């Protein structure tokens, strides 16, 4: 999976939402961004709040269609924390590239162990 796709997947998974089906890497991760670009791109030139709201609704609809809600009894744990940290890791500038790579690998092990 590309780093951009992994970042998209991590953002979808924050809060306990999990991708449906087996097409995670190819379809699920890039889908919300594609929906947002499509709805926004078709409205170029319009300056209304409607366009911004349409983009938000399209993204939310795609995420809802490709994810399942977390079970009601699930409590935040190490997997949720690892997913959240992976999502913001690219924004971190206090670690070297090697340290970020190692941390990314460890976080992937934590999240993959739950599947």
CA dihedral for 2, 40, 92, 17, sign (positive or negative): negative
pLDDT number for residue 53: 74
Q: Average pLDDT, stretch 68-96?
A: 80
Which carries the bigger pLDDT value, residue 113 or residue 37? 113
- Which secondary-structure segment (H or E) carries 68? strand 67-68
Q: Where residue 27 falls among pLDDT bands split at 50, 70, 90?
A: very low
- Which secondary-structure segment (H or E) carries 18? strand 18-19
pLDDT of 105 higher than 90: yes
Q: What are the domain boundaries of the chain?
A: 3-113
Q: What DSSP state is assigned to residue 69?
A: P
């Amino acid at each position: 999976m590309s780093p951009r796709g992994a970042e998209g997947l991590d953002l979808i998974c924050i809060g306990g939402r999990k991708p449906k089906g087996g097409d995670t890497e190819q379809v699920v991760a890039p889908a919300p961004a594609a929906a947002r670009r499509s709805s926004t791109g078709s409205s170029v030139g319009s300056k209304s709040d409607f366009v911004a709201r349409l983009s938000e609704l399209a993204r939310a609809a795609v995420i809802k269609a490709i994810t399942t809600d977390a079970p009601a009894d699930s409590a935040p744990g190490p997997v949720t924390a690892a997913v959240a940290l992976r999502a913001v890791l690219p924004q971190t500038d206090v670690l070297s590239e090697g340290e970020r790579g190692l941390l990314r690998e460890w976080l992937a092990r934590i999240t993959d162990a739950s599947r």
